[in-house]
Amino acid sequence: MFGPSECMFGDSISHHRSVDFRRFLFDLEVAFKRVFGVPDDWAVLFLPGGGTLANEAVAASFDCVVEGPNTPFVDRLRRLNKYNRRGYPAKVRCCVAYDTALSLPIDVSPSDDLLTFVDCVSGFPFYQWPRSADAWSTVSGKQLNSTPGLGILAMSPRFQTLARQDSSHSMLSVADYLMFRDRGETPHTPAISLLDDLYSILGKFDIIEHCSMIAARRELLETIVPESATVGSGPVFTIKAGLLHDEFVDKWGLYPGSVGPQMFLHANGDWDGIIKELGDIEWHC
């Protein structure tokens, strides 16, 4: 093939405007829906740039208002929603289902007036998306354990109809992604290697096994780390700042969360090693 960016799809080399890529992108969306139970009539988009870009694409493409408590990731969503200064009445409310910084699940109740978009980036799929949601986002990295760098946006048919057409020709235009999806393409050059890795991961992803592993790791950690030393629940284990020496944090590569060091319970680290050393700590809290 004489395309601008040649990649292997199946047994042939093709480019991202080829029939082979269209077939691959269709198969990827079908696989994602099958693994995670997304309804057939929903659209699933794969955007290069990660969860923040997917969330900002919603803010840029829909008339949004952000709802939720004053927590770090809800506040981040409010900062992304700078486009609401246009003065249009809100048609979509944006919520966060799991505030990563606080390891805090947030209830998203149904709305009678607005359609609901939910940031599910760090909680999914340990926490399924709220059934009150008309659209939601996650990422290729984190719990899916695929190569980081893709934002994933799932949308119901009625949510899709609200995408603003005047956002067209922007990297953040959901309307453009939906238009190109209809012909099996993306509006901009896709992150093909990331898409391919995600497709490979989906072929062997077991939700029950995945969620059981996270629950077992949290249960074990909760037996050796005092409750007073931790924050929140769910798939991110957060220890309050100042309770672990910097040397410990650096040795084990803990994530420097804004509230304290964090362990993402899906990660492929040396769990036996860190659990043993956590058990040797004399906690003062």
pLDDT at 235: 98
pLDDT at 13: 62
Question: Within 10 A of 112 (CB to CB), how many other CB atoms are there?
Answer: 4
Q: What stretch of H or E contains 98?
A: strand 98-99
pTM for the model stands at: 0.92
Stretches where the chain sits below pLDDT 50 are none
In terms of phi and psi (left: phi > 0; alpha: psi -120 to 50; beta: otherwise), the region of 75 is alpha
166-179, pLDDT tens digit by residue?
A: 767 788 999 999 99
Residue ranges per structural domain of the chain: 7-202, 207-279
pLDDT at 141: 93
pLDDT at 273: 96
Domain 7-202 part of CATH 3.40.190.10: no
- β pairing state of 92-96 and 64-66: parallel
Strands (E), 130-275: 135-139, 150-155, 230-231, 236-239, 255-256, 261-264
17-51, pLDDT tens digit by residue?
A: 677 788 899 999 999 999 999 999 999 999 998 99
**DSSP three-state, residue 272:** helix
